[in-house]
Amino acid sequence: MPTEPESPGPALPPGASTAAQPATPSAGIPAPATGRAQPPARPVRRHPLRAAPGLAAHRLAPVLSGGLPPASGDSMPDWLEPAMAANGIGSFDWDIRRDVLEGDQRACAIMGLDAVDKVRFDCTASSFLTLLHPEDAPVVRRRVERAVAELGQCGAYYRAVGPNGTMRAVRFRGRVLADAFGRASRMVGFVWDATVELHKRDRADRLALLREERSRFIKEAARALSEAVTVRDVARVFTELPLPGLPPDGLVLAAFEAGRAQILGASGYRPGSLSIWDRTLLPAGHPAAEALRHRAPVFISTREEYREGYPEVWEPTSRNGRGSWAYLPLVASGRAIGVCVVSFDDERELDADERTLLTTLGGLVAQSLARARLHDAEHELAAGLQRVMLPRTVPSVPGVTTAVRYLAAGSGLQIGGDWYDVVPLPGGHVGLVIGDVQGHDVHAAGIMGQLRIALRAYAAEGHPPAAVMARASRFLADLDTDHFATCTYAEVNVDYGVVYAVRAGHLDPVVRRSDGTATTVPVAGGLPLGIDPDQEYRVTRFSLDPGETVLLCTDGLVEARGMDLDDGIARLTRTLAEPLPPAGEAARDPLESLADRIASQAADSSEREDDIALLLLRWDGPEGGLAAQQLRRRIGQADLARISEVRAELRDALRRWGVAEFIDTAELLSSELVTNAIRHTDRDAMFTARLYREPDSAGGRARLRVEVEDESDLWPTRRTPGEQASSGRGLMLVEALADAWGVEPRGSGKRMWFELSGTAAA
């Protein structure tokens, strides 16, 4: 493609069409408008381009002198011809009005006209354009036409195609001269072979383009490596980098610890070919060890150079068939952490620009690898803390199905104070815990671990929900950490789907009902744990039908940047209410799919600033459709009000079990046994009521057994009190009203029990 030279208006040889040629059919260029009638053009005899030694004597002098008079009248200066001959410059003259092109011998040779068939070339502009490369001819035509119209200069590079198909680069520069009437008359100028000049220019353009590509590559590599988070990401980015100008045949990224190499990633090598160096101590004579030792790249251009310089490791290295290598040390913060190996199949000597590019790339990879290793170490620490602090597995409790999720925050150490727990309770019940310790660091995670264990222990002992929460608050306050925690604890009666919930500054539970709707269940709340050691918490009771699900979560699930709490809860309830696949059709339990759906709709990791703990429990109902009829409660030594609560729960249970005729007697005798245990011991008592059915017996007989356990070795003694005695009648009542009763030893303490028999309702 012809290009415009630096000076104004240079162009190719006059073989371009003009805007001011005679109105002859061969020219194809209109004559310039002069404002007056033009004489009719007389026929011109076409003749071949001829060598004219004195061609430009008077015509080219003004062009060379810039308009100054020639050195001696109208003759050419004596120095002009030798100067043009010495520099291989030819001259041409194009008569615009007659459309005749003439040139000296050098011009003919340069433009390739000396070897052109005279029939094919008739010295006209149109005929000359046919000799140009098809891509260059239109450009030359436009430039010459503009010069003729403006009586100016033009010039360009163009490619001339010879008769045998050979191509040469030519450059010309010409000026349009006017006649006495100010009309374009002729164009005179110079022409010279520009093949070498154009090759140099093309090479300079290629080098400039290559430098631009390398600069762009460094920017793109820096961006890609800055986005690499893990060591695996850095290795992937490095082994996929397209190095401009020197595509390598092999890339290896290795890290070093205690002198041992660990191959992180490689490309261009056969599987297993690098295993000899993986996780091994590199010998001191290895070029990678030398690069790390001196903190400087090692470039090896030939196989012979490698064999002579590193004979100790040449034999295993030669198996890969490489011909040249570049070992780039990875140095970060003054410490060598690894090496990059760039290899080529052929032997090559890398130039200064290529070595600079590879050295720069090594620096970028080193910084990215150091950052990624730190990230991986922090992530491993966070994962280890999470494994220790959170339950490793969720226990399986018959009658319920649970699903849990923990999502670390989008930045930072990825561990915090959020936790969940599922606690099997006495009597086959289950306790649900969700909580969030103030802060998002290792300190908060440590406090969370202590609080989770303490709360789990209180719950497993059988304490009622209010007592569990109160003791956990007192425990956190006694730790004196200046941290508080929010928490929700719920005890689920697996037999009947009854939930007893306590809330300490935390979110209310959300329940997905059997009709597919989801609602928030208001739970009476108290202060967060650790603020007031004497805080008392109220219990809220609600029930679940078989198949209904209760959800507990931390605020990270419903609060994020740009989303307030109300909007987050509304979104959560909508997600919870979406239809689930039937249990028989799904490849996994629908509750797990629901947990995945909720977690996936949490705020994006780049926006989420808090951890997320999520706990789902679905009450599946009693096996076979009948409840495992049991009631088990712990009664604290100083919690006398708890006795009244247990009596109320017993009445409710017996009514649901269909043995309402047992209520009065069972309540009276239970009060006696519990009171006896509380009065005569200094420990808590455990109350258990079970209903046994005898379906094979006539009338559907049922047997109620009530047990009260304590840790006292003092056995009760039956005695006959006097009329004025205020105590001693309890065992008499038990003996008189119960169908059977007794006392059984335990490892520590005893168990008192009684049984009532009757007919159960259908």
Can you give the CATH number for the domain in which 315 is found? 3.30.450.40
**Per-residue model confidence (pLDDT) at position 45:** 35
Tokens 């040139």 -> residue: 103
Tell me what the mean pLDDT of segment 343-348 comes to: 90
Residue numbers of the domain that contains 310: 212-379
Span of 211-215, 280-284, 450-454, 518-522 with lowest mean pLDDT: 211-215
- The reported pTM is 0.49
pLDDT band at 739 (very low <50, low <70, confident <90, very high): very high
pLDDT tens-digit map of 300-324: 999 999 999 999 999 888 888 899 9
Q: Decide the pairing of beta strands 400-407 and 418-424.
A: unpaired
Q: Is the pLDDT of residue 383 over 80?
A: no
Task: Kindly state the DSSP code that residue 563 receives in the 8-state scheme.
Answer: B
Q: What pLDDT score does 402 carry?
A: 93
The predicted-structure confidence for 543-596, as pLDDT tens digits, reads as follows 787 888 999 999 888 887 677 788 889 989 998 888 877 655 556 788 998 998
Confidence check: pLDDT of 34 > 50:
no
Q: Do residues 195 and 168 lie in contact, with contact meaning Cβ atoms separated by under 8 Å? A: yes
The pair of structure tokens assigned to 484 is 């508080």
Are 498 and 641 found together in one domain? Answer: no
Query: What CATH number does residue 731 fall under?
Result: 3.30.565.10
Q: State the angle between helix axes of 231-239 and 352-389 in degrees (0 to 180), rounded to the nearest 10.
A: 150
The mean per-residue pLDDT over the stretch 23-40 comes to 38
| Same-domain pairing of 324 and 404 | no
Number of domains within the chain: 4
Which of the four pLDDT bands, split at 50, 70 and 90, describes residue 339? very high
What's the rounded Cα separation, in Å, for the pair 296 and 359?
Answer: 9
Confidence category of residue 5, pLDDT binned at 50, 70, 90: very low
Report the pLDDT value the prediction gives residue 281, as an integer from 0 to 100: 86
pLDDT cut 70: percent of the chain above it? 80
What mean pLDDT comes out for the span 200-223? 79
Which letter does DSSP use for residue 685 in this model? Answer: E
Q: What are residue 589's phi and psi, to 5 degrees?
A: -65, 135
In terms of DSSP bridges, do strands 525-526 and 498-504 run parallel, antiparallel, or are they unpaired? Answer: parallel
Same structural domain for residues 335 and 403? no
Residue 205 lies in a domain: no
User: b or e along 319-352 (b: 16 or more beta carbons within 10 Å of the residue's beta carbon)?
Assistant: ebebbbbbbbbbbbeeebbbbbbbbbeeeeebee
Residue 503 placed within a domain:
yes
Same domain? 321 vs 294: yes
Read off the CATH number of the domain in which 44 is found.
3.30.450.20
User: Distance (Å, rounded) from C-alpha 407 to C-alpha 600?
Assistant: 10
Same domain, 219 and 359: yes
Q: Are residues 371 and 478 in the same domain?
A: no
Distance of alpha carbon 16 from alpha carbon 142, whole angstroms: 8
pLDDT at position 433? 95
Higher pLDDT pick, 439 / 95? 95
Query: Do residues 438 and 504 make contact, with C-beta atoms less than 8 angstroms apart?
Result: no
Give residue 608's pLDDT. 58
The residue from 595, 623, 651 where one domain ends is: 623
Share of the chain above pLDDT 90, in %: 25
Residue 384 domain-assigned (yes or no): no
Burial degree of 279 (CB within 10 A; 0-12, 13-18, 19+): exposed
* Alpha-carbon radius of gyration of the chain: 49
Q: Is residue 207 part of a domain?
A: no
pLDDT, the chain, mean: 79
Contact, 657 vs 691, CB < 8 A? Answer: yes
Of the pLDDT bands very low, low, confident and very high (cuts 50, 70, 90), residue 738 is very high
pLDDT for the residue 465: 92
Q: Is 437 helix (H, G, I), strand (E, B) or coil?
A: strand
Taking the mean position of all CA atoms in its chain, how far away is CA 120?
Answer: 67
pLDDT reading at 349 higher than 80: yes
What local confidence, expressed as pLDDT, does residue 704 receive? Answer: 92
Please tell me whether residues 326 and 454 are part of one structural domain: no
Same domain, 425 and 549: yes
d(CA 51, CA 113): 11
Section 277-299 average pLDDT? 89
**pLDDT at residue 386, rounded to an integer:** 65
pLDDT above 70 for 471: yes
Q: How far is CA 615 from the centre of its chain?
A: 26
Paired tokens of 338: 């690894």
The reported pLDDT for the residue numbered 76 is 64
pLDDT tens for residues 404-415?
A: 998 876 555 556
The pLDDT, as a whole number, for residue 47 is 37
Beta bridge partners of 341: 252, 327
Place 102 in a pLDDT band, splitting at 50, 70 and 90. Answer: confident
Ranked by mean pLDDT, the top range of 23-27, 208-212, 742-746 is: 742-746
Residue 665 has pLDDT above 60, yes or no: yes
530-544 residue pLDDT tens: 999 889 999 988 878
Question: Do 667 and 758 form a contact (C-beta atoms < 8 A)?
Answer: no
DSSP string, 515-562: TS-EEE----EEPPBTT-TT-----EEEE--TT-EEEEE-GGGT-BTT
Residues 37 and 168 in one domain: yes
More confident residue, 425 or 390: 425
Closest CA to 511 of 425, 586, 658, 619: 619
**Coil, strand, or helix at residue 8?**
coil
| d(C-alpha 465, C-alpha 430), whole Å | 11
CA-nearest of 458, 464, 476 to 501 is 464
8 A C-beta contact, residue 580 and residue 387? no
CB–CB of 385/406 below 8 Å?
no
What is the model's pLDDT at position 510?
Answer: 94
Distances in whole angstroms, Cα of residue 106 to Cα of each of 87, 109, 612, 639: 11, 5, 86, 121
pLDDT, average across residues 49-76: 44
Task: Judge contact between 239 and 267, C-beta under 8 A.
Answer: yes
Domain membership flag for residue 201: no
CA atoms within 13 A on the CB side of 217: 22
Residue 142 CA to residue 156 CA, distance in Å, equals 11
- Give the alpha-carbon dihedral of 591, 592, 597, 600, to 10 degrees: 150
Structural domain includes residue 387? no
Can you read off the two tokens belonging to residue 122?
């008739």
Same structural domain, 617 and 657:
no
> Within this chain, do residues 239 and 167 fall inside the same structural domain, yes or no?
no
Please identify, among 592, 623, 654, the residue that sits at the C-terminal boundary of a domain: 623
Say which residue, 533 or 638, is predicted with more confidence. Answer: 533
Q: Does 206 reside within a domain?
A: no
Distance, in Å, from the CA atom of 101 to the CA atom of 15, rounded to the nearest integer, reads: 8
Domain C-terminal end among 379, 411, 439: 379
CA distance 217 to 357: 9
Query: Which one is predicted more confidently, 728 or 331?
Result: 331
Do 423 and 457 share a domain, yes or no?
A: yes
Each as own residue / partner, the long-range contacts of residues 82-87 (CB below 8 Å, 24 or more positions apart, any chain) are 84/190, 87/192
Neighbours of 535 (CB within 10 A): 17
Tell whether 198 is covered by a domain: no
| Whether pLDDT at 419 is above 80 | yes
Q: Which residue has the higher pLDDT, 337 or 61?
A: 337
Q: How confident is the model at residue 38 (pLDDT cuts 50, 70, 90)?
A: very low
Cα 477 vs. chain centroid, distance in angstroms? 41
527 and 456 Cβ atoms separated by less than 8 Å:
no
